[in-house]
Structure 1
Amino acid sequence: MSDSLDALNFDDDDLNFGQFHLDESEESAVNEEAPKSERDLSFFKNIPVTVTLEVASKELSLGDLMKAGEGSVIELDKLNGEPLDVKVNGSLLGHAEVVIVNEKYGLRLIDVIDSALTSVG
């Protein structure tokens, strides 16, 4: 039984990794990082999103809101002429102004927040 145990024991000298050879293509893959290719993100173009133009907002208590009735005025947090917030699915994309196109309201983007677009890519 001790002979079988001796057969399982070996020294570092018994290992010879010099016998293993990699192909040139395998060596370059091991030695160099593969160049990062751009991901094809075209499938994102078909995902529907909701674009909202937010004029302004105001935080108030439910009690104050319940007191409001026809003709009540609630002062909002934006001044006249300030750019409006453009939100996509609730997240701020940038700022815009209101325009009228073919008898419908539209928006003209004034600025787009960089982090809103770069987080996708």
Structure 2
Amino acid sequence: MFPLLVAGCASTGITNLTPSHLPRKDNGQYSFSVEWNSRQQSLIKDSIKSYVVVGLDQYPMQRTPLLTNRWETLVPVPADKDIVTYRYKFDYEYQGFPNRQADSKLSKYYQLFIVAR
């Protein structure tokens, strides 16, 4: 029972806030946003870095001004592309014993469909 309690304290949830369909934009820039919640007590909150991962490219995200658990960024999508397969990546540190330790979480894959206006 003890391992179950420890695992429950470190649960993490990644919620995709990007719509699955967006109208094509003339500038080719599309907004991606995500929410990340963690109950890991040892997490060092100011160490969190988030990314949108498209293929081999990683686009850094910024925290939203009013909500500390949400991130957003603009991702360029070529005009000839109608579907973008992506996932989110979170790099962070936690207080290990005796020093800080690095860790990373990946979301499942998502798809964005870009449709004509």
Rg larger for: 1
Using structure 2 for the length normalisation, give the TM-score.
0.25
Which gives a bigger RCO, structure 1 or 2 (Cα 8 Å, sep 6+)? Answer: 2
Using structure 1 for the length normalisation, give the TM-score.
0.24
